[in-house]
Structure formats: structure tokens, C-alpha cells
Structure 1
Amino acid sequence: MKQTTAILVFLSACMLFSSCQQKQQYYTLTGQLHTPYVVKYEYKRPLTNEINAEFQHFYHLFNAFDSTSVISRINRNEDLSVKDTLFAKLFNTAKHVSEQTDGAYDITSAPIINLWGFGFSKKDSVTPGHIDSVKAFVGYQKIHLVDGEIKKNDPRLQLNASSLADGTVCDMIARMFEEKGIQNFMIDFGGEVVAKGVNPKGECWRIGITKPIDDASGATQDIQEIVTLCGRHALATSGNYRNFYIKDGKKYAHTVDPREGCPVQRDVLGATVIAPEGMVADAYATACMVLGSEGARKLKELAPEIEYYLICSDSTSTNYRIEYSEGFGKYLPAKE
């Protein structure tokens, strides 16, 4: 009898242990907020609620179109205190990249971009006087974070986190995954990616860079290059693929330089940056668009932790050329 009881206890314990050790599998969550997203991860159960909670927290902090968000209240000078460490990190990252690029990247530049309109729809009505008036309250040097509070030299200064927001939300979800011990995941939010480990096939994650095709609808998504991400990396792409023009037989991207307050002719049509974090990759990709290929090479010297891949206009034709940093080569498949 005692032996039978012992066997039953042993079997019950085994069954309990098995139920606790749920089998890991890959889950995929797709949707669209202000941009499409795809989240893939290997875990013992779905994490839809947890992922949505990160999205909600993200929008609470950085959605400039929500009057109750932290960034909106700062822009209206209603509450200049910064209690959230992620918000402080984003602000400090933006300031750092702004300093490295001498203002080619600037988180306060939204008024200038708005002045010209989407696709430069207002270009015929913009005058030098308009530019000068807006530039008076644009500039990363005019806003600071001191002891947990935003200080503005001019109360009209406003923050817009769109230039590094998508990379930031990828970081948020990745951090949540890693706190749960998840080793394999890929988060793609609007083309900005944070990936770790391997995909369901046990291979490195493969991310496509699209060709700069003159297609305003965006329906054409031909792949220029495949990037393989092994380990833990963030990737961000910035580009004016659908909004470039041809002048004197050469392609130019429509890019606004915050320092000049107007569109500039740069040779970079698309910039992809790999960095340790999504917000960092996102900011540097935007900066490369404004700096051009020569400026990107100089920026790499100041920021050795990044690698870049540029699709540039060809100086002799309407075609384009490829340029990438030496370290980016290890993320590209071997050519036969």
C-alpha cells in the first residue's frame, strides 16, 4: 500500500511539473497603429496584452497628436517635469545626435518641416521671412533637461519625437521580452527593427531594404538588399524613396536641413543604420539623410557603434549607387 501511494505521488508530481513547463513556440502579432507592425517571439504563451500595454505607454509619452500625452503637455508648457526615465533617455539621445551632427538632426525642427508642408506642398508660398521667423524658435541648443525638468530658452519651442519614435517603441517591447527571458524575437514597427536570436527556422533574422523606385503610391516594394541580423541588433531605415526629383539628369531627395530651414539637395535617397538600440539607429538614419554620404562618413568616425548602408544618387545619371561602412558588410549575405 505504501509503495502504491508513493508511486501515485511521484506520478502526480511529474504531471504537475510537465504542466508548469509549457512548451515554447513562436507567436506573431500584426496590426497597424500610426504605421504597420509585426512582432514575432518565442515564448510559452501569447503576450498580446503585454505588447499592447507597451504601445499604450509609448503613445502616452510621445504622441504629439494626443493633447494628454507627456510631450503635448511639455509643448504647451503645462507640465515641464520629466518623471519617466524613457522620456529622459530619448531626449538625451536626441540632444547627443544633434550635437554630433551640428544640428543636421534636431528634435525641435517640426515647425520648419510643417512650414514647407507634406511633400513641400507649400513651397511656393514660403519666403525667407517665414523661414527666419520659424528658425527663431527651433534649435536643440535652446532646450535642456535639467534636474528632471525641461528648460526652454523660448516658450514656443516644441518637441517632436517622430524621427526616433518607431525605433523607441521597438526598444520598449524588446526590453519587456528580455525581462521575461525571451531569447528569440523580431519587432518591426514601421520598418524599424529590433531583433535578437533566431527565427522559427533557427536562422538569423532576414530584413529587406527596398529599392528607391519612383512610385508615389508606395505599392512597389522591390528589395534592394537583404540584411541578416544575428545576436542582438537594431536597424532603422530613413528615406525619401517616394519623394525625390530629377534635376539636370540627377536624382535628389527632398530633405529639409533644420540648420538652413529649407530643402537641400543631398545625394542620399535612403539610409539604413544598425546600432545597439532602436532609438539610436532611428536618429542616426534621419541624420544621414540630411548630411549626405560625405557627412555620413564623418559621422561614423564620431559614432563608431553604428554601421550604415546608403542608397545614393549617381552623379552621372538617374541611377543610384550603393555605399556602406566597412562593418556593415558582415550583415550582408556573401555574394557568389
Structure 2
Amino acid sequence: MRAIMADNGDFYYNICGTAEGTSYNILYQDAEGRDFQSDIASLLAGFEKSLSVYDKTSLISRINRNETTKVDAYFAEVFTRAKEIYSLTDGAFDASAEPLFKAWGFGGGARYIPDEEQIKELQSYIGMDKIRLENNQILKIDPRIVLNFNAIAKGYSADIVARFLEAEGCVNYMAEIGGEIRLKGKNLRGGDWRVGIDRPTDENLIPGQDLQVILEVSDKALATSGNYRQYYIENGQKMVHTIDPSTGYPVRHNLLSVTVVADDAITADAFATAFLVRGLDGSAGWIEKYPSIDALFICDEEGEYKVYSSAGMKNYIAEIR
């Protein structure tokens, strides 16, 4: 834990670490100067034992193997919210779409372009409407159904940390896990928290190195999804890692990056994924339909980056570069 003095003389405390295959960075103000490093590490370790697909002994791994088991509170909350957002986004956010990602070479294994027949076969057992939670158990209509909550896991874990800090009486904090963020109160300078949005270039491989937009946000959550870092070239075609479950194919629109501001990070994370699937035009209706969500879009228009945002998002934009 590192102590940092704020402009008003109060101390904020910074703790960093790794979880879920990524890093976390947490800054909080606490009058008692308590070190929450071990508590937060324990929280995140419990989260991983529930929802990490990389841990073969985790709860989600056992469910994907069709082992009979009861779900825990973490799993139940994430599963329920994933189903809700699947419905709200007309299936654009789908935590059961993992087989498509693997087929296109984004979940490990060989990279190749599956044919239409293979895609239709995979789609026959993809869809959150084909799986339900009943009596604390997951029930599938097809045993081939698998779940992967990576698209909302970092956001949800930021929410978990935020709940912990608030329960401990922290009114000013920033909890960032793998780029998904929960913000509360004031920063070290007494203002809203400043968050940089990366310029979505292929060469911009280090987060924070080259910023396109700077936001000032507080008492909200924020998540960003992008197409510009995870892709490969096959037969002269750029295959991005964002796949539309409704078509089974990688998306081909010009939206490179989308940032969502919402009340909690699990919602921001999921909608950022859904917006990236649907593209700028396809997402416009959701912005109007769900007023608690705001979004910022960065598009490639003939080699020039253009920034678009919802009306509410303009309140958070401090700078466009």
C-alpha cells in the first residue's frame, strides 16, 4: 500500500495487483489509513474460483463440463444480469457465444474461417434463452452449451471492490480492474475523476500511451471495448475478435472503440460489448431506450478517427484530442 497526500491534506491509499489474468489499480481515501490489500485480494480470488474459465476447478468450468453443482452468489448475480442484458440487447451480448470465438480462433486453437454450415451448427446451441437458473442449479437444453463471462467479469469485479470499499466507509475511491472502472466522490485534486480513452490505432498497444478523449466522471462506472488490438489477417481479410452472435461472423463496421458510462460496471461492460457488436447506427436506439446509459463511439472514417457521443456523454467529455 502506498500513501498519497491529496491537495487538501487528506491521504489516499493506492494498492495494485493482478487478478483474472489482468492488473488492478485501486485508489481510496480512508481516515483510518487502513490497508485493504489482503481483503481485496481475497475477494478477487473468491470471484475467480466462481467465474474464471481459466481455472479448471472453478464453478463455471464445472458447469461447462455439465457437472451437477449448486451455484454461488457471484455466479447467480452475474448469470442473472447476463440474461437480462442478453434480452435488453436483442442477443448482441451473449455469454454463451464462446464456441463462435473458438471457431474463429479467438479462444485458443487453430485460426481458420469456418464455413456457413459449421456456423449454423454452432448457433443451434448458442443463446442465453437456452439456459436457465433454477433452484440454484444451471439447466441447459443442450449439453454442448458453455458459458464465458469474460465480457463482463472485469466490470463485475470492479463492482465487488466498490461494494467492499463503501461498506468500509470510503466515500472517495477509484477501482480499476483491467480497464473497467468504478468511481466515487472526488479525486486527489478535489475534482471529478479523470479517465483517458485510448486512440484506437493498431500501434497503440500500451493503455494510456496515446489518448483520444479525456472524461471527467464521478459516482458512475465506466467500461471500454475495442476492436483494434485483438485481430488477425486471414487471406487478406482483417478478422476482429468482436463476433455478432446473430450472424456468427466477425463484425465488419467502422466502429473501433466504444466507452459506456452506467451506474455499475457490470452494466457498462456488457453494453460496451453489445454496442461494439451492433455498431454506431445499430446502437442509437438503445441509447434512447435506456437513459441511464451513455456512450462514446470512436469510428474510422476513411482513415480519420471521428468521435460521436450520446447527449448525456457530452457532460463527461473534458477533452478531445
What is the TM-score normalised by the length of structure 2?
0.88
Question: Cα offset for 1:245?
Answer: 8.9
Task: Judge conservation of contact 1:307–1:327 (CA < 8 Å) in 2.
Answer: yes
Query: How do residues 19-98 of structure 1 correspond to structure 2 at under 5 angstroms?
Result: 25-33=11-19, 34-43=21-30, 44=32, 45-84=34-73, 86-98=74-86
* Moved beyond 4 Å, runs of 4+: 119-123, 216-220, 243-246, 251-254
1:163-182, aligned counterparts within 5 Å?
A: 163-182=151-170
In structure 2, the partner of 1:255 is 242
Q: Distance in 1 between matches of 2:46 and 2:190?
A: 32
1:329 aligns with 2:317: no
Deviation at 1:289, TM superposition (A): 0.3
Letter of the 1:82 counterpart: V
**Tell me, what secondary structure is at the counterpart of 1:202?**
coil
Q: Does residue 307 of the first structure (1) align with residue 308 of the second (2)?
A: no
Q: Distance in 1 between matches of 2:104 and 2:239?
A: 17
**Distance in 1 (alpha carbons) for counterparts of 2:295 and 2:205:** 27
Distance between the aligned counterparts of 2:248 and 2:125, measured in 1?
12
Q: How does 1:1-336 map to 2 (within 5 A)?
A: 25-33=11-19, 34-43=21-30, 44=32, 45-84=34-73, 86-118=74-106, 122=110, 124-215=112-203, 217-218=205-206, 221-230=209-218, 232-243=219-230, 255-314=242-301, 317-333=302-318
Q: Deviations over 1:145-194 (max 9, x none)?
A: 12322111101111101000000110001000111111011011111000
Q: Does the C-alpha gap of structure 1 residues 253 and 299 become closer, same or farther in structure 2, counting only changes over 3 Å?
A: farther
Residue identity matched to 2:57: T
Deviation at 1:334, TM superposition (A): 7.0
For residues 41-87 of structure 1, the C-alpha deviation after alignment (integer angstroms, 9 at most, x for no partner) is 11121111111111111101110111221111111121342231x32
Give the counterpart letter for 2:14 in structure 1: T
Report the residue type matching 1:150 in the other structure: I
Instruction: Give the CA deviation at 1:110.
Output: 0.7
| Higher helix proportion (structure 1 or 2) | 1
Q: 1:252 to 1:151 in 2, by over 3 A?
A: closer
CA contact (8 A) 1:42 1:183 kept: yes
Q: After superposition, what is the alpha-carbon deviation per residue over 1:110-156, rounded to whole angstroms, capped at 9, x for unaligned? A: 11001101399955442222212222221111011123221111011
Residue identity matched to 1:268: L
Counterpart amino acid of residue 72 in structure 2 = K
- Separation in 1, partners of 2:232, 2:57: 39
Q: Is the 8 A contact 1:100 1:302 kept in 2?
A: no
What amino acid does structure 2 have at the position aligned with 1:226? Answer: I
CA distance in 2, matches of 1:179, 1:24: 20
Aligned residue pairs total 305
| One-letter code aligned to 2:293 | I
Say if 1:30 and 1:39, in contact at 8 Å, map to a contact too: yes
Whole-angstrom distance in 1 between the partners of 2:110 and 2:305 = 28
Whole-Å separation in 2 of the counterparts to 1:201 and 1:217: 29
Give me the whole-angstrom Cα distance separating, in 2, the residues matched to 1:168 and 1:30: 18
Q: Which amino acid aligns with 1:273?
A: V
1:243 CA drift (Å): 4.4
Percent identity between the aligned chains? 38
The CA distance in 2 between the partners of 1:73 and 1:186, in whole Å, is 33
Instruction: Name the aligned partner's letter for residue 313 of structure 2.
Output: F
Q: 1:275 to 1:219 in 2, by over 3 A?
A: closer
Q: CA deviation at 1:321?
A: 1.1
2-structure distance, mates of 1:254, 1:211: 18
Give the conservation status (yes or no) of the 8 Å contact 1:216–1:243.
Answer: no
Give the deviation of 1:267 after TM superposition: 2.3
Mean Cα deviation higher: 72-81 or 100-109: 72-81
Describe the SS at the equivalent of 2:252: strand
Shift of 1:201: 2.1
